[in-house]
Structure 1
Amino acid sequence: MSMQQFAGGNERFIRRYEYEDSWVIAADVGLSEDEVDVDIVGSTAIVVADTGDRVTETEFELPAGGDADVAVRNGVLTITLTK
């Protein structure tokens, strides 16, 4: 397994883990599943956060992979891509 970590302008962390058969991207969004919507278009993840009084959109590139599984648990967005 290898890991890379990035901090955005708001100091929220994004970590990317590489395993033999998958990539896992984990981002600290601090929101519930109902407040986050993720669309994957090609190799780009589009994350829309709607907190009721504010809507923000963030895009980031994903590693090359196959099917994607998206989950939000305890304020952490996880995208798992098969290789």
Structure 2
Amino acid sequence: MTQRHSLGRQERFVRRYDYDDRTVLAADLPAGDVSVDVVDGTAIVVTDRDSGVEEFEFDLPGPAATVDTHNGVLTIGVDK
């Protein structure tokens, strides 16, 4: 299942992959410093780059077990 989340004029695509024991959400991020917080089942992502600070958020299907960013891709694992 692919979900589209809008933030102002920007759109972020969050892909969801369901496995037997976990769900993985993946989102492409712009280049720059990235900070991710998970609060009450919502992922809050803040990117800081030359053009300014940008924030977007999306709902998780449960409490996050893992959060990782690598090469501009954010992945969040949620155990079932």
Q: TM-score, structure 1 length as denominator? A: 0.79
What pairs with 1:4-43 in structure 2 (closer than 5 Å)?
4-9=1-6, 10-31=10-31, 35-43=33-41
Q: Structure 1 residues 58, 12: closer, same or farther in 2, change over 3 A?
A: closer
What is the CA distance between 1:8 and its match in structure 2? 3.9
SS of corresponding position for 2:62:
coil
Whole-Å Cα distance in 2 between the matches of residues 51 and 19 of structure 1? Answer: 34
Runs of 5+ unmatched residues, structure 1:
none
Structure 1 partner of 2:49: 51
RMSD of aligned alpha carbons: 1.7
Report % sequence identity: 48
- Once superposed, which parts of structure 1, at least 4 consecutive aligned residues long, lie more than 4 Å away? none
CA contact (8 A) 2:2 2:13 kept: yes
Q: Structure 1 residues 61, 48: closer, same or farther in 2, change over 3 A?
A: same
Whole-Å Cα distance in 1 between the matches of residues 13 and 36 of structure 2? Answer: 17
Paired residues, number: 77
